[in-house]
Structure 1
Amino acid sequence: MTSARDTVLLDVDGTLADTTYHHALAWSRAFAKHDLAPPLWHIHRCIGMGGDKLVPMVAGQGVEDDLGDTLREQWAQEYEQMLPEIHLLQGARDFVLALHERGLKVALASSGKKPFTDHVIELLDLPEGVLGTVTTSEDAQESKPQPSILQVALDGVSGTGAVLVGDTPYDVASAARMGAPCVVVRSGGYGVQELEQSGAVLVVNGPEDLIDADWDDLVRREPPEGAEDPDPPLPH
């Protein structure tokens, strides 16, 4: 029998904070500065992977080679202007507190930049000690769907095993690549069937639906076969 995992890793953007479409718009505005106009739906389909992977996926390897770093800087500038508009998803704070009260270790494992993750932490306004650690894109060599960020977070709390809560198929894949199951909220904009087919062990509408979930069962689940290989977004 699989031993129970002791840690819940939480993605941030689209999982705890309602930021997915803000990020898509910020990327769109960054591309527009260079007379590039990838459709917003395609940008959205790539939100959740690291920016180093998003640019070539959305606009091609040539754009990445010529403008990748510049586009990422401009995306950050555009998104920073939207920070006053960012708010938590319903139930996010209560969900984090509920995990801690269950005796589970809780860590944030975000692909986002540290200042943007810090902003969400301020909104959460959690008591000291609830979050065991916080990892961001600066803490890992490879971005999602590689599991580097997750492993750094798990190591940061000395966890024996983890469940990831995310909002995209990239979260499912990154979790599976470290042997972890993934619970997915729909607030990232993906459909139930797509998320289930990607390998999510549970799909819910938002974090408030996870407060009373059966975590005794979830920490014993295994990622299904093939979950480590997400279907790529539709081609540009």
Structure 2
Amino acid sequence: MADTAIFDVDGTLVDTNYQHALAWYRAFRRYDITPAVWRIHRAIGMGGDNLVTAIAGEDVEKAHGDELRAAWTEEFEPMLDEIQPFEGARALIDEVASRGFRLVLASSGQKAHVEHFLDLLGGREVADAWTTSDDVDATKPQPDLVGVALQKVDGASGVMIGDSVWDAVAAGKLDVPTIAVRTGGFSEAELREAGAFRVYESLVELHENLDGGPLARSTR
């Protein structure tokens, strides 16, 4: 039984994945690189330190990695005002917190972006802690974010709630089970293959099925 619920933010609680993909596409185009947008989407959930190599290869990372990440920021920030929480996001985290879990909103995003999303969710009012890129050396699919989330609240055992295969892979490296929602655009089969043991269509469906699962009640 778990004592800590670790909620991924981007793509799980707030609807950002397609804005991320478009911002990365525009960033690559600045350097005359034209990856298919669907390929970028498949990599969303990785951190920017891994995504450039995954999409364009090591040579592009060596030549333009930092510039591409800076360009991504410039392309993404004008879309911030378009982004909204998914239906049921606040109700779900309120309910999980009320069941006695330590609640961590886990992101390796830039601090300003994470704070914007916290404000959208009212997350500061309910979360015990949250993370940003300042807290980790390596992003998903490396497990650093999951480990830091547990450390921030002295958690002994966690459950990851995420939307991408990279959430499940990262959590699995620390033997933390993952509940996945399909809000990131990944199929149920992909999420299960990556290690998610339960998959729901939406946050609302997850909320309706908390009883009988690892988020039924906390061990605290």
TM bin, normalised by shorter chain, reads over 0.9
1:138-177 deviation line (CA, Å, top 9, x unaligned): 2111111111111111111111110000111110011111
1:155-234 counterparts in 2 under 5 A?
Answer: 155-214=151-210, 217-218=213-214
How far apart are the structure 2 equivalents of 1:158 and 1:212? 28
How far apart are the structure 2 equivalents of 1:26 and 1:6? 36
Q: TM-score, with normalisation over the residues of structure 1?
A: 0.88
Among 108, 112, 116, the residue aligned to 1:115: 112
Is contact 1:48-1:111 (8 Å) kept? no
Among 70, 73, 98, the residue aligned to 1:73: 70
How far apart are the structure 1 equivalents of 2:201 and 2:17? 15
Q: Which residue matches 1:38?
A: 35
How far apart are the structure 1 equivalents of 2:177 and 2:211? 12
Among 74, 94, 98, the residue aligned to 2:95: 98
How far apart are the structure 1 equivalents of 2:83 and 2:113? 10
Q: Which residue matches 1:47?
A: 44
1:218 match: secondary structure: coil
Structure 2: stretches of 5+ with no match in the other structure:
none
How far apart are the structure 2 equivalents of 1:214 and 1:78? 37
Q: Number of aligned pairs? A: 216
How far apart are the structure 2 equivalents of 1:51 and 1:92? 25
Asked whether 1:11 is paired with 2:8, we answer: yes
Query: Which one is further off, 198-207 or 78-87?
Result: 198-207
Asked whether 1:136 is paired with 2:125, we answer: no
Is contact 2:108-2:135 (8 Å) kept? no
Is contact 2:11-2:17 (8 Å) kept? yes
1:64-105 deviation line (CA, Å, top 9, x unaligned): 000000000110111111001000111001011011111111
Is contact 2:49-2:138 (8 Å) kept? no
How far apart are the structure 2 equivalents of 1:177 and 1:219? 21
How far apart are the structure 2 equivalents of 1:86 and 1:26? 13
Structure 1: stretches of 5+ with no match in the other structure:
221-236
How far apart are the structure 2 equivalents of 1:197 and 1:150? 19
Is contact 1:196-1:202 (8 Å) kept? yes
4+ residue segments displaced more than 3 Å:
none
2:208 match: secondary structure: coil
How far apart are the structure 1 equivalents of 2:32 and 2:124? 46
2:2 match: secondary structure: coil
**Percent identical:** 43
Q: Which residue matches 1:89?
A: 86
Residue type of the partner of 1:86?
A: I
Quote how far apart the aligned CAs of 1:111 are: 2.2
Residue type of the partner of 1:68?
A: G
2:160 match: secondary structure: strand
Among 149, 154, 157, the residue aligned to 1:153: 149
